[in-house]
Structure formats: structure tokens, C-alpha cells
Amino acid sequence: MMRICFISHSSGQHGAELALLELLEGLVKLGVSCMVIVPKEGPLISELEHLKIPWEIASYPRWLSRPIGIYYRLARNIISLIRSVQVAKIAKQWNCDIVYSNTSSISVGAFGAWLANKPHVWHLHESGYKMGLKYDLGEFWTARLINSLSAAIIVVSHSLKKYYSQYIPSSKMSLVYQSVTRHNKIEKTYKSNRDNQIFQCLIISSLHPYKGQIEAIKALSELIQKGINIQLLIIGHGWKNFQLELFKQVKEHNLEQYVEFIGYKKNPMEYLQSTDTVLICSQWEAFGRVTIEAMLAGKPVIGSAAGATAELIQDGITGLLYNSGDHLELANKIQYLYENLEERLKIGASARNWADNRFTQERHAKEIFNILEELLKKRNQL
């Protein structure tokens, strides 16, 4: 039986953690024995216990964050190296075959695998540079370490693979699209629940400058000035300073009665299924879980033509694309859906048909399983 020790960068339930849970469920069904190391207690642990997957805590920092001082970055990396010893000890005691880091934002899994003499897999869900964050060692040296300390590297989109190919040989990276089934009651809702009422737009993402909420607020302002009966719901939490900036933007544009901040929702399906359109305004997405969830719900998505969003949406067929940063074009796309109910329903239905059966847990787990099996086969032949 294959035994995999996963390393999670957090104990939350955000995109990478949801993808991890779906992968764990799928691998267990294939007969793989899994355990997870987490940095602290959190909601992820209760989900692991529900799946009967063993876990351990080994407190460790990230090496990816907002820009910070050089001495703090140095201290963090020293702590990571020290914590790697604990990770190596756990991996040895559990007698795992592979150590699997579920993100590029931590290094303890890679160094722990090296110390334990175990093959290491790095599953890249993000790029620090594209997210406006910085790796402690810089993008170049971090990517070089990811390459040298991994027996296999998995990426979640063509866009991410293309980005990392400037540092890592493309032949070493395997593209595997995530499964999107964790919110297991994604019902198709082709018919608008708001016919002849207010037209509702929805953003589900962390509150962060690169996610584009300000762009959506500016687009909303343009539409309100045209007399369009419209509302914007913003779901998510994040940087407090940026949240204050969003409140300021809403006030400056006199949109207090048109914009509602919902906060974080563990399962936002209720909001997604009752909205008219979903906005993906990020400057760049490595994958786009919300995009797929919206499609599975039969909702038309308006997304910025950047990163994996442009990869997932066929413009005019399974969604609409606009140039990132152009709030006027975004406003025009929203107005188009507002004025064309039939087209709105047609795009939502096409999106549902395209996404259905493409992002399944079975397909995702099997593709990962094949990569891990091949890795172990090659290692045994040495």
C-alpha cells in the first residue's frame, strides 16, 4: 500500500486546503494510506478526522508573504529548517513512501523529505509574484529550490506551468486540474431568481488588491449612473487595510446601498445559486475554483482575461472575458448580461455542460496516483 505524508501550509479551509481534502478522499478510495502534517489547530483538522485521516501538528512558518524585513525573513527560514527536522522525524516514524507539499508557500516538507531520504512532490497552486506576495529567497532561488528538492512537480493550470517554465524544465512539471466537488450540492440554476428585480453580481475571493474588488466597485458605479438596478455582493475576508480601502471606495462612489460585504462563508453556495452573474476580477489566477463552482451552478462568469481564468472560459460561449484593469469594459459585459436574459441563461447552461465531468474527484485522484506510482517505480529501479 502506498503511504503518502502530506504537508499543508495552513489549517484553514481555503482553495488549496479544499483541493487537498478532495485529493485525500480520492486517494483513499484508490487504496492509498494518507496522513497530514499541519502547522496549528484549525477547521481542517475536523475535516481530516471526519475522513479518518491521521494528522500531526508541527508548527512551521511560511516563506511566502507580504514584503517584510530581511532579518525577519532570515529568522523565518532558520525556523523552517529547524522544523524540518520534526517533519523528517514524523515522516520516518510513519514510514511514508513520499512526502507531498500541497503548496509552494512552505519549505519544511521539501527539507524534511531530504533529511528523511524520502522522495518529495511539490504541488504548486500559486505564484508569489503574481499574487503580489514575495518569497523570502526571491522568486528565482525559490523556484530553483523547488526544482532541485522535488522528484516531481504538479501544477494546476497551463498558465502556472508556463510561468514556472522560465525556472523549471517543463518536462518535470505535470499539469493536473483540480477537482471541484467539495461543495457537493452544486445545483444548476439556469433560471434567474431575480427576474424583474435587482440584478445581482457576486464576487467570492479573499480581500486582496490583486483580486480586483475595487475594479468591480468602479464598474458598479458606472452602471448605477446609467440607471441600472444592480447590486454587488462581496464574500471573503483578508487584509484589514484593504478592506478599509474597499469601504472607502464604496463611500466615495455613494454605493452604500448597492454593495454588501458578506464576510467569510465556509459554504457560499446559497449566494452563488441565487445570483445572476459571478465576477472573477483577479489580475491573475493560478486556477480558479470559484470559476468552476459558478459554472457547475449554471451561472455565467465574467472574468479578467488573465492567467487560468482565460484558460477556463471560452469567451462568449462558457462565459465572458474582459481586459484586466478595464472597469469600463467590465461594466459593459455586466450590462450585456443584464439586458439579455436569454444569452445569460444560454452561457450559464453551456458553462455547466462544459464543466460537468471535467473536474471530478475520481479523475483528479487517478491522475495524481499515476504520477506517484510512476515516481516510486522509477525510485525502486535505482
Cβ atoms of 119 and 99 closer than 8 Å: yes
Q: How far apart are CA 88 and CA 108, in angstroms?
A: 9
For position 21, what pLDDT does the model report? 95
> Could you give the CA distance from residue 99 to residue 5 in angstroms, rounded to a whole number?
5
Write down the pLDDT at residue 238: 83
How does DSSP assign 155-200, residue by residue?
Answer: ESSHHHHHHHTTTS-GGGEEE-PPP--SS-------S-TTTTS-EE
Please, what are the domains in the chain? 3-179+360-381 (3.40.50.2000), 199-355 (3.40.50.2000)
At 265 the pLDDT is 85
236 neighbors 205 (Cβ within 8 angstroms): yes
**Please, what is the Cα angle at 203 between 210 and 276, to 5 degrees?**
145
- At 364, phi and psi to the nearest 5? -60, -50
Q: Note the pTM of the prediction, 2 decimals.
A: 0.90
What pLDDT score was predicted for residue 266? Answer: 78
For residue 13, what pLDDT is reported? 84
Task: Spell out the alpha helix ranges (H) of 66-185.
Answer: 70-94, 108-116, 138-148, 158-164
In single-letter form, the type of residue at position 123 comes to H
Q: Is the dihedral of CA 33, 28, 357, 11 positive or negative?
A: negative
255 grid coordinates: 454605493
The pLDDT profile of the chain, 382 residues, written as one tens digit per residue, is 899 999 999 998 888 899 999 999 999 999 999 999 999 999 999 999 999 999 999 999 999 887 788 888 889 999 999 999 999 999 999 999 999 999 999 999 999 999 999 999 999 998 876 667 889 998 899 999 999 999 999 999 999 999 999 999 999 999 999 999 865 455 555 444 444 579 999 999 989 888 999 999 999 999 999 999 999 999 998 888 899 999 999 999 999 999 999 998 878 888 998 999 999 999 999 999 999 999 999 999 999 999 999 999 999 999 999 999 999 999 999 999 999 999 999 999 999 999 998 999 999 999 999 999 999 998 887 6
Q: Strands, DSSP E only, in the chain?
A: 3-7, 33-38, 55-57, 64-65, 98-101, 120-124, 134-135, 152-155, 173-175, 199-204, 230-235, 259-263, 277-280, 301-304, 320-322
Which residue type sits at 325? Answer: G
Q: How far apart are CA 136 and CA 106, in angstroms?
A: 10
pLDDT value for 239 = 81
pLDDT at residue 1, rounded to an integer: 85
**How many other β-carbons are positioned within 10 Å of the β-carbon of residue 309?**
27
Q: Specify whether the CB–CB gap between 276 and 301 falls below 8 A.
A: no
Q: What is the DSSP letter of 102?
A: S
| pLDDT at residue 182 in the model | 60
Cell of 193: 431568481
How far out from the chain centre does Cα 232 lie?
A: 22
Query: How many other CB atoms are found less than 10 A from the CB of residue 168?
Result: 21
| pLDDT the model gives residue 315 | 97
Residue with cell 484558460: 311
